[in-house]
Each structure stands twice: as structure tokens, then as C-alpha cells.
Amino acid sequence: MSNQTQGIRVIALRQPFVAFELQPWRPPLNMYETDQALVLVVDLAGVDPSNLHIHVHPSQIAVHGTRHLAVPPSLRRINHMEIGSGPFQLELQLATMIDPERAEARYADGLLEIGLPYATQPSHHVVVIHVNGGAR
């Protein structure tokens, strides 16, 4: 997906300097195979589901969006930071052809679950799927 949004990510904290990286972060995921589909579970706690964009190709999937994390208003110093914030991007090449037209996604309890049914015939369609659910 050539439409990449650049974000700022902290990569090092050393007094008195802070270094930043201009790249989207990559959320952790699990991928499972069932008899009917590939299933992806992506850890996106705190992401507004309306901020998720999913593009499904017959042999590739791309998920991107933004997570906004608030910092305390009286912040003096960051002692430890591991939670990704800002733009994220996940792109996967799939070893098995899937049917983009039947792909589904739902978001609940901070997890995005994407069902990618196996293809029964060749397809060249690219589909944008919408996320069901919405509880963060």
C-alpha cells in the first residue's frame, strides 16, 4: 500500500536527548489455519475501530490505522515506553490463496479478528472490508 502515513516513534531515551523514528509500528499477531479459512488475530488494544483500514487481496492482506495514546498533562519524564503509538501497518503475503469477497473482520476487547476463507476459484479482486464490533 503505497499510501503510507509517516509517524513519529520514540526509539531511544537518554538524558538529555530523545531519538525518534519516522516509521509505522507493527502490531503483534497470531495466524491460524482451519479447514475453511485463515484466521488472523491482531493485538490492537486502544485502537478506535473506525480508524482501522483493511485491504484484502487473493494472496496478501494489509491492515493499517493509528493508535492515539494520551500522556498525563503534567508529564515530566518518560521512564519506560513499550506500547506502540501513532500510525501502524501490517502487511502479509499469504501462502494460500483466499477469497477477498468473503473476508470478514470484527474487533472486540482490543483484538481484531480477520477471517480469510480459502479461494475456491481464482480471483483478482481487491476488497476493503469493514470492521464489525467496536468495543475497545
Residues above pLDDT 90, as percent of the chain: 55
Cα angle 31, 33, 35 (rounded to 5 degrees) comes to: 160
Say which range, 9-23, 41-55, 86-100, 118-132, has the weakest mean pLDDT: 9-23
pTM over 0.75: yes
Exposed e or buried b for every residue in 53-73, given b needs 16+ CB within 10 A? Answer: bbbbbbeebbbbbbbeeeeee
Please indicate whether residue 79 or residue 115 has the higher confidence score (pLDDT).
Answer: 115
What are the sequence ranges of the domains in the chain?
25-68+84-133
55-110 pLDDT tens trace: 999 999 999 999 988 888 888 888 888 888 889 999 999 999 999 999 999 999 99
Asked if 111 and 26 touch (Cβ cutoff 8 Å), the reply is: no
Mean pLDDT score across all residues of the chain: 85
* Mean pLDDT calculated for residue range 22-27: 88
| Nearby residues of 63 by Cβ (< 8 Å), 6 or more positions away | 27, 42, 52, 53, 54, 88, 89, 90, 91, 112, 114
**Given a cut of 50, is residue 38 above it in pLDDT?**
yes
Which region holds residue 86: left if phi is over 0, alpha if psi is between -120 and 50, else beta?
A: left
Q: H/E element holding 124?
A: none
> Topology of 25-68+84-133 in CATH?
Immunoglobulin-like (2.60.40)
- Supply the pLDDT for residue 20: 55
- pLDDT number for residue 99: 95
Cis peptide bond upstream of 49, omega within 30? no
